[in-house]
Structure 1
Amino acid sequence: MSETVSELARRRGFFFQASEAYGGAAGFYTYGPEGAALKRNIEDAWRDRFVTREGNMEIDSPTVTPEPVFQASGHLDDFDDMLVECPDCGESHRADHVIEDNTDVEDAESMPTDEVEALIADHELVCPACGGPLAGQSVTGFNLMFDTTIGPGDGDPGYLRPETAQGMFTEFPRLKEYARNQLPFGVAQVGTGYRNEISPRNALLRTREFTMAELEFFVDPAGDGPALDRVADVELPLYPVDAQQAAGEEYLRLTPQEALAEGVVGGEWVAYFLARSKQWFERVGVDMDRFRFRQHLPGELAHYASDCWDAEGEVDGDWVELEGVASRTDYDLSKHDEHADDSFTVFQAYDEPKTVERASVDPEMSYLGPEFGGAAGDVADALAALAARDRAAFDGDEVTVDVDGEAYTVPTERTGFEVAEETESGRHIIPHVVEPAFGIGRAVYTALAHSYEADEVDGEPRDVLRLPAEVAPTTVGVFPLMDKDGLGERAREIAAELRAAGLAVTYDDSGNIGRRYRRQDEVGTPYCVTVDYEALEEGAVTLRDRDTTTQVRVPIAEVAETLVGLRDGELRFEAL
């Protein structure tokens, strides 16, 4: 974000570094009055699109999570960034950022640590803080989760969640009941996440505390896909892996159906949510001429994802990640099904019962015990697993299974192997998950950067935020032409009536009317109402449009209804 917009954000109360009175803390920001309202409106627009309109449910889970959850999910082992420490000043840096900021390499994050170390040495890169040499320093993995304890004393180990997703996965056994065990269904959550970033930077882009809006959409991989005709007219700007590896900047512009037909996007639900995401970003003020979906390179895929596309917005020449649409397959639910004390499967009933052949074993433990001792139980389990996946293995006189790298051979007649017919009314499956995960702070940041414009009105320079009316912090500013002769009283009455109609209103009687207009333009207020002497005489006020500065007269009795229609997109100012 340019320094101009950053200064505007601080001065006008959008966001600023937290705890500045105590020197501040890197990676933590406070949203001021304008920023908090903008953030809340963007969150509400997200809920409208991905919860209400899609018919999904929303939950609110704790931000502190017991350690076993992250042991099962893999975050304890794999949720790392690459760290390099300066030997001179001791400052820690993200090694991939050091490379990307100082070389032509754009995808260092996807590289193994030994290649990152070699690049630092080859380019003789130095510490961004003190200029000391980093060549020869080891690059190590640094887990980003904040740890804590739950309970007094030593307590139980826990972590501040780095994403909201695990709260939705761990509650799946109960949530599936609320969904009546019918796939597909979605569970959404808007909440705070925490990551102990090595080097937070770029204002709201890389912070240690942030708001995420995530949807976990549970599907039967063999079930019906989405109604793609509902997004048939959405053109997706796609930047797939092969284009990136060829160092090209040409994007494919395809509809979801075309992207699937050409094999660019691998899953129907991923294609569907890419389209819905593009519609939403445009709705909240992201410039579609500076927007794309970039596919993750193989080396940067998260440990749980088989494919992922990042929605990115261009700000000051850099591409900013705004959202990831990931195919998480059945990774998460399978891990929790394996480790937790509940079932993470869904029973899917067949249209009609089916007769199937099922292989089973009933080993003679009186044989396995004396023969294999303490390994007998594991051998029995291995025989059962083998029968389920490869009944042909029992065709001979003996069958061999592997237990912890050691082979055990059992006479087939001692295994109790048989194949029997059973009638099934359905099947238990572990659903697959498609996840659109949004960074709300990043959406706020990009909407501000993309909506900012410096222009000229009546020969005077003007800073303006052309935020969509739906998300602008304030919908309307109400001004008396001057605070005398009853104008101020009538203006305050109108402001109260507009607030009662559910509109965000600011009242301002300070300075000349032009300055008041400029103040509201600068914070993105789309409309202003001016109460003049004609308002007292004729019962009509002046309504001004931020973007065009056009003014029209509107009867006072119709102002609230008119502004609600403009805010909600049901009216256009030109039509007035």
Structure 2
Amino acid sequence: MSSVNKTAHPFDKARLEALLNRRFFYAKAFEIYGGISGLYDYGPPGSSLQANIIAEWRKHFIVEEGMLELDTTILTPAPVFETSGHVARFADWMVKDTVTGDVLRADHLVGGVLEARLAGHKEAKGLAANPPAQDDKDKKKRKKQAKAAPVLLSDEIVAEYESTLAQLDNYSGPELGELCRKYDIRNPDTSNVVSEPVQFNLMFASSIGPTGQHPGYLRPETAQGHFLNFARLLDFNNGRVPFASAQVGRSFRNEISPRAGLLRVREFTMAEIEHFVDPEDKSHVRFGEIKDVKLRLLDRHVQVSGRTDLTEISAGEAVARGIVANETLAYFLVRIYTFLLKIGIDPARLRFRQHMANEMAHYAADCWDAEIQGSNGWTECVGCADRAAYDLTVHSEKTGTPLVVRTALKDPIVTEKETAEFDKKSLGKTFGKDTALVQEIVNALDEAGLLKLKGELAQGSATVERDGKSFTLTPALLTIERKTFKQSIREFTPNVIEPSFGLGRILYLLLEHTFWSREQDVERGVLSLPPLVAPTKVLIVPLSAREEFDPLVLEVSAKLRKAGVFSRVDDSNTSIGKRYARNDELGTPFGITLDFASVQNRTMTLRERDTTDQLIGPIDEVIATVTELVQGSIDWPEAARRLPRYDGVQAVAE
């Protein structure tokens, strides 16, 4: 889309949320029953916007990267999450208001209170520099204002608050409790003291079967479905790695206190990728294509030092300097970055933050979050983790199913090593029930231990010990020989690089980034959504409701449908300006006007949403042009070179 000055009026969150509610982008679920926090229904424009984001996600990742798509179940037996560690560790720290019993998430409480105090400090500094005019007639009012006025903080306290906020994700539960006591952090709604933090598991428990004989959970992520199907995926990919599987689906997390609209919900749509890679080779075949792309990174060392300075660095340099662990991880960071920009996220309000030690998921070796800045601050929208071999290893150990890759070696590996050979019949007669223990002791010896034992046996006997028991071995029971082994197959458990997208968060922040108001019509907002994701691509506006317009409206609608362009007709009685304005609210990028000249001359105008510029041309030429605009093969300046500018005089009078 063409550039436009959107700075005439500052961002107004209340006005955006009023628009989203009025135009039914989304609304609280079960609203007529009072609603439940953290559950939302999407209306027509919100559903279309999400579907378009998902369609581009599938194209950008699944199609362009040749991924294997899955659709796995939401209901999951409890043993799966017991094995994965979610039952024990998938939790947040919560505190309770000691008077009302209200539950709050501890890290959000600490962060929110400290940020509010810093904001008040800045406001107080501004008031001190520019005090309001005094009004002696209203001393009571001035006293009340002074009592509620924001408080100036010392430079030392400001520095402490900023350092604490920079490291907030790294604090444990007890440390968050200590911060509440140190800074007298209370429930902001009641001013009551809060309890010590306790862990709360975020999974929704369920049961499977009529008698509940199979305890289960609603999945908090889609990832486990990938890991449990790994053997089938590997077979489908002809036994080769690297490869990636991908899935879009619903997940559920029983959030402690969801209070930020779509940013923190209990049911949401995720898009996840599991890229399986050889642990000894985490290079990426396409890394050369993206190595020069620059990213804005906030690494763990900067955060631990209490700062939030960003480093702008190319992906190639980030890997070379060890800031990002490997090529595959860096490759996906860039692909995440280009996807978010493509759908309309402002690059100036996008960063990648590395997880610190305490916040790292139990399975992760390294993790970066794509965070998007909005009115609520920086919000994690995409996590990109190196899960190492954790998941496949624990599920394999639990089930006895080998979740491994076997590859033929080009050059077989020949090794020599000392090998213990038991005479099992004699061993059993000699040691009885301790036979297995003796074998375990010997098999646990390394090369040096076996050589030592071999030397002792050569002298007639050797003694091994464990748990206070001593066993004498002779050459009749055990021989140790040096043998040659030829390995033609390499077997390994692959590592996993996982990009995980919270689509609802991305959708909401995209709406914030693209919302603005025209100088001449502040009350009506505009959503400058890219045509790629806009719910409706083209608005068809017939200037009159007379019957002679009907065939033309049907013809234009049919031709746009045939071209794969989603359009809507607005033939209401309101003025053309109001019709365009209310569709600017919906983010519709282009408008076609059919007037009396269209009926007589088969011409029509084409309007661009952000600039309101209009072009004119024959119907088929305008349809061809707008189709290319929607597909992204041309931009508005190119369209203006193809079609003449509309000056308002082409319409033929009635």
Match of 1:126 in 2: 186
Q: Which structure carries more relative contact order (alpha carbon 8 Å, separation 6+)? A: 2
SS at match of 2:403: coil
SS in 1 for 2:99: coil
Q: Please, which of 160, 163, 183 is the counterpart of residue 221 of structure 2?
A: 163
CA distance in 2, matches of 1:173, 1:254: 38
Say what the alpha-carbon RMSD is for the aligned residues.
Answer: 2.2
Q: Within 5 Å, give how 1:139-218 maps onto structure 2.
A: 139-218=197-276
Distance 1:336 1:552, change over 3 A: same
Query: Given the superposition, is the C-alpha separation of residues 132 and 548 from structure 1 closer, same or farther in structure 2, using an over 3 Å criterion?
Result: same
Alpha-carbon shift at residue 393 of structure 1 (Å): 2.1
Q: Which of 337, 345, 349 is residue 290 of structure 1 equivalent to?
A: 349
Which shifted more, 390-399 or 307-316? 390-399
Spell out, residue by residue over 1:182-207, the C-alpha distance to the aligned partner (whole angstroms, 9 max, x if none): 11000000000000111112111111
Partner of 2:80 in structure 1? 69
Contact persistence 2:19–2:525 (CA under 8 A): no
Deviation at 1:320, TM superposition (A): 0.8
Q: Is 2:616–2:622's contact at 8 Å kept on the other side of the alignment? A: no
Distance 1:487 1:132, change over 3 A: same
- Return the alpha-carbon distance in structure 2 between the equivalents of residues 158 and 48 of structure 1: 33
| Counterpart pick for 2:414 among 347, 355, 369 | 355
CA distance in structure 2 between the partners assigned to 1:431 and 1:383 by the alignment = 31
**CA displacement at 1:373 relative to structure 2:** 6.5
For residue 630 of structure 2, what is the aligned residue in structure 1?
567
Mapping of residues 224-263 of structure 1, within 5 Å:
225-226=283-284, 227-263=286-322
Q: Which moved more, 1:241-250 or 1:302-311?
A: 241-250
Amino acid at match of 1:312: E
- Gap change, CA 1:241 and 1:379, over 3 Å in 2: farther
Which whole-Å deviations, capped at 9, do the CAs of 1:264-304 have from their partners, x for residues lacking one? Answer: 11111111111111000000111001110001111110000
Counterpart of 2:143 in structure 1 is none
Change (3 A) 1:396 1:488: same
Equivalent of 2:535 in 445, 454, 473? 473
Q: 1:484 aligns with which of 517, 539, 546?
A: 546
In the alignment, what sits opposite 1:319?
378
> Of 380, 383, 392, which aligns to 2:448?
392
Distance apart, 1:335 and its partner CA: 0.8
Partner Cα separation in structure 1 for residue 408 and residue 517 of structure 2: 61
In the other structure, the counterpart of 2:133 is: none
Task: Flag structure 2 segments of 5+ consecutive residues without an equivalent.
Answer: 1-11, 115-160, 454-461, 640-654
8 Å CA contact retained: 1:383, 1:415: no
> For residues 67 and 317 of structure 1, do their structure 2 counterparts lie closer, same or farther at Cα, with a shift above 3 Å needed?
closer
Question: 1:35 — aligned with what?
Answer: 46
* Structure index of larger Rg: 2
User: Which has the larger displacement, 283-292 or 488-497?
Assistant: 488-497
Check conservation: 2:207, 2:215, Cα contact below 8 A.
Answer: yes
The verdict on how the C-alpha distance between 1:472 and 1:400 changes in structure 2, with shifts beyond 3 A counting, is farther
Determine if the alignment matches structure 1 residue 48 to structure 2 residue 107: no
- Preserved contact between residue 394 and residue 412 of structure 1 (Cα < 8 Å): no
- In 2, the alpha carbon distance for the partners of 1:305 and 1:257 equals 22
**CA distance in structure 2 between the partners assigned to 1:268 and 1:92 by the alignment:** 42
Taking structure 1 as reference, are residues 25 and 409 closer, same or farther at Cα in structure 2, changes over 3 Å only? farther
Provide, for residues 411-457 of structure 1, a one-character-per-residue CA deviation record: whole Å limited to 9, x for no partner: 48555544422222221110000011110101101110101111235
Which amino acid in the other structure matches residue 431 of structure 1?
Answer: P
Alignment pair present for 1:436 and 2:504? no
Equivalent position of 1:57 in the other structure = 68
Q: CA deviation at 1:377?
A: 3.4
Q: Name the SS for the 1:486 alignment partner.
A: helix
- Consecutive unaligned residues of structure 1, counting only runs of 5 or more, are none
Alpha-carbon spacing, 1:354–1:455, altered in 2? closer, same or farther (3 Å): same
Give the C-alpha shift of residue 37 in structure 1.
0.3
Match of 2:257, SS?
A: coil
Q: Distance in 2 between matches of 1:400 and 1:167?
A: 46
How far did 1:374 drift?
5.5
Provide TM-score, normalisation by structure 1: 0.93
Q: 1:416 to 1:502 in 2, by over 3 A?
A: farther
**One-letter code of the match for 2:586?**
V
Change (3 A) 1:126 1:217: same
CA contact (8 A) 1:91 1:129 kept: no
SS of equivalent residue, structure 2 residue 546 = coil
Q: Does 1:532 align with 2:595?
A: yes
Aligned to 2:650: none
- Measured after TM superposition, the shift of residue 87 of structure 1 is 2.4
Amino acid at match of 1:234: V
Task: Name the SS for the 1:141 alignment partner.
Answer: strand
Q: Residues of 1 paired with 2:249 and 2:468: CA distance? A: 48
Q: Which piece of structure 1 moves more, 245-254 or 5-14? A: 245-254
Does the CA contact (< 8 Å) of 2:628 and 2:634 recur in 1?
Answer: yes
How far apart are the structure 1 equivalents of 2:71 and 2:274?
A: 13
Pairwise CA distance, 1:536: 1.6
Question: What TM-score do you get using the length of structure 2 for normalisation?
Answer: 0.83
Whether 1:86 aligns to 2:97 is yes
Structure 2 vs 1, CA of residues 377 and 45 (structure 1 numbering), >3 Å: closer, same or farther?
A: farther
Is 1:116 equivalent to 2:176 in the alignment?
yes
The alignment partner of 1:395 has SS state of: helix
* Counterpart Cα distance in 1 of 2:168 and 2:234: 40
* 1:503 is the counterpart of 2:565: yes
Percent identity over the alignment is: 38
Matched, 1:13 2:24: yes
Match of 2:280 among 205, 211, 222: 222
CA shift, 1:545, in A, is 0.7
